[in-house]
Amino acid sequence: MSKSKLWTKDFVAVSMTSFFIFVVFYMMTVTLPLYATDILQADKGSLGLIVTVFLISAIIFRPLSGKWMITFGQKRILVIGAVLFLIGSVLYSQINSLSSLLLLRVLHGIGFGMATTATGGIVANVIPDDRRGEGMGYFATFMNLAMVIGPFMGLTLIEASGHSAVFTVAIVASVLGLLCSLVLKVPTLKMVKSSTEVKASFLASLFEFKALPIALAGFVLSFAYASIISFVSVFAKEMNFTSVASYFFVVYAVCLLLSRPFTGKWFDRYGENFVVYPAILLFTIGVFLISQASSGTTFLLAGGLIGIGFGTLTSSLQSIAIKVSPPQRRGVATATFFVLFDSGLGVGSSVLAVVSGSIGYQGMYGVCAIIGVMALVVYYALHGRYSKVTSRVALEKQIVNK
């Protein structure tokens, strides 16, 4: 069977829009706490609010964006979100107090939530159905690259030129993201409303209930992953792995990129269970290795396994959420998935901070490995055992048999 074309102008445009927005997101996430303490003289206890208010704003506006995409169109919501995101990036250099910074983070979070929800919905319609797993995998790779490039660029700029250079680069990246969104041509979907949809409640218009089971599995996994993004650098310092700590996410990204050409194609060819079950196991083993790490080598090996495992899971679970939802509600399905996924990160960061204070970081990572096993059970119970074999291999066999 001949495969449909994946690398179109529109696929590249929506992927680059996502890349530039996430570069700014990750760059500001690691540098704003330093700006708050160095320039605004904020106390350490308030630094967590810089991330929290941003995520809360994004979470609140994700389902609203999904609904608006159906009403006003996907591209319009993407452009509005990108414009708000750009405005936020421009205003950072004008901030002179912690309270004004937090207010700006609300605006930036709204733009981020709208833009990233829109890109997730749009890319699902740009990617051919027979290459969805592969396409979503490559789309996620742009976000994964931003996760490495953003923090590295931000910290390097602060060291070389100060915070003003960070704000300037954030503005440039935001402008590029907006330009990419403007050249994007979004496929027109025929919006067919059933009598059930017409009578649907306001809550049903915000959330795609068919995507909730897989989103719940994503919540459990992101809860455990919060231990990586929130505490892995502190853990490395405590264990005297500082000489290799900066390479953790580099190894993470390299292993993810090396696996990406295979995992996405396997998703399409053999079905989601063939990819998701091993990915959860690799992620769980990686987290467990961190809890047992006594050398930098083990620490970096864990980073590689987590990169393959969790990096594969983010695109695979999102693909499933889109797959089980009606085409005209793919934006809502994307919003539903990321509301729970982002909530898992936020709740996990808060809860695991308490856990680490009680039993230490090694004990906390041991708990997260157990949560990884729980995620395997949750995925099986909510989706895996019901998953129909709709892979490319199955379709090819059906055609041959006919």
Burial of 91 (0-12, 13-18, 19+ CB in 10 A): middle
3-state helix, strand, coil split of the chain in percent (to 5) is: 85, 0, 15
> What is the pTM for the complete model shown?
0.76
pLDDT at 206: 75
Instruction: Decide if pLDDT at 20 tops 90.
Output: yes
pLDDT at 50: 82
Instruction: Decide if pLDDT at 219 tops 70.
Output: yes
- The rounded distance, in Å, linking the Cα atoms of 325 and 69 is 15
User: Rounded mean pLDDT of 48-60?
Assistant: 84
- The rounded distance, in Å, linking the Cα atoms of 279 and 376 is 10
pLDDT at 304: 94
pLDDT at 332: 84
- In this prediction, residue 351 has a pLDDT band, given cuts at 50, 70 and 90, of confident
- Residue pLDDT, tens place only, 57-108: 998 998 898 889 888 999 999 999 999 999 999 999 999 899 999 999 999 9
Greater pLDDT, 219 or 240? 219
- Residue pLDDT, tens place only, 359-369: 998 999 999 99
Contact by Cβ (8 Å): 337, 318: yes
pLDDT at 31: 83
Return the minimum-mean-pLDDT range out of 161-170, 299-308, 345-354: 345-354
- The rounded distance, in Å, linking the Cα atoms of 232 and 37 is 21
Greater pLDDT, 160 or 43? 160
pLDDT at 8: 92
User: Rounded mean pLDDT of 311-323?
Assistant: 88
Percent of the chain with pLDDT over 70: 90
CA-to-CA separations, 234 to 97, 219, 271, 338, 354, in angstroms, rounded:
27, 24, 38, 27, 15
Instruction: Decide if pLDDT at 30 tops 80.
Output: no
The residue type of 279 is A
pLDDT at 63: 87
pLDDT at 133: 78
Which residues touch 346 (CB under 8 Å, ≥6 apart)?
52, 55, 56, 59, 226
Which residues touch 391 (CB under 8 Å, ≥6 apart)?
268, 269, 270, 271, 274
Contact by Cβ (8 Å): 175, 5: no
Neighbours of 201 (CB within 10 A): 7
Q: Which two tokens stand for residue 77?
A: 């919501």
- In this prediction, residue 194 has a pLDDT band, given cuts at 50, 70 and 90, of very low
pLDDT at 23: 95
The residue type of 72 is F
Spell out the domains of the chain, with CATH numbers in brackets: 1-186 (1.20.1250.20), 202-402 (1.20.1250.20)
pLDDT at 314: 87
pLDDT at 203: 67
Q: Which two tokens stand for residue 333?
A: 């399905």
Q: Which two tokens stand for residue 199?
A: 């009578």
pLDDT at 46: 72
What is the C-alpha radius of gyration for the chain, rounded to an integer number of angstroms?
21
Neighbours of 73 (CB within 10 A): 16
pLDDT at 147: 78
- In this prediction, residue 135 has a pLDDT band, given cuts at 50, 70 and 90, of confident
Burial of 239 (0-12, 13-18, 19+ CB in 10 A): middle
User: Rounded mean pLDDT of 156-183?
Assistant: 93
Instruction: Decide if pLDDT at 201 tops 70.
Output: no
pLDDT at 402: 46
Instruction: Decide if pLDDT at 35 tops 80.
Output: yes
- The rounded distance, in Å, linking the Cα atoms of 292 and 286 is 10
User: Rounded mean pLDDT of 305-328?
Assistant: 88
pLDDT at 204: 67
Residue 367: name the closest of 240, 246, 244, 223 by CA: 223
Return the minimum-mean-pLDDT range out of 15-29, 276-290, 317-331: 317-331
pLDDT at 200: 55
- Report the chain's mean pLDDT, rounded to a whole number: 85
Give the SS3 label for residue 69. Answer: helix
Instruction: Decide if pLDDT at 226 tops 70.
Output: yes
Instruction: Decide if pLDDT at 388 tops 70.
Output: no
Contact by Cβ (8 Å): 344, 226: yes
Greater pLDDT, 124 or 118? 118
Torsions phi, psi of 127, nearest 5?
-75, 135
Neighbours of 377 (CB within 10 A): 13
Name, of 21-30, 84-93, 138-147, the range with top average pLDDT: 84-93
Instruction: Decide if pLDDT at 199 tops 80.
Output: no
User: Rounded mean pLDDT of 206-223?
Assistant: 91
Would you list the DSSP string of 343-364?
HHHHHHHHHHHHHHHHHHHHHH
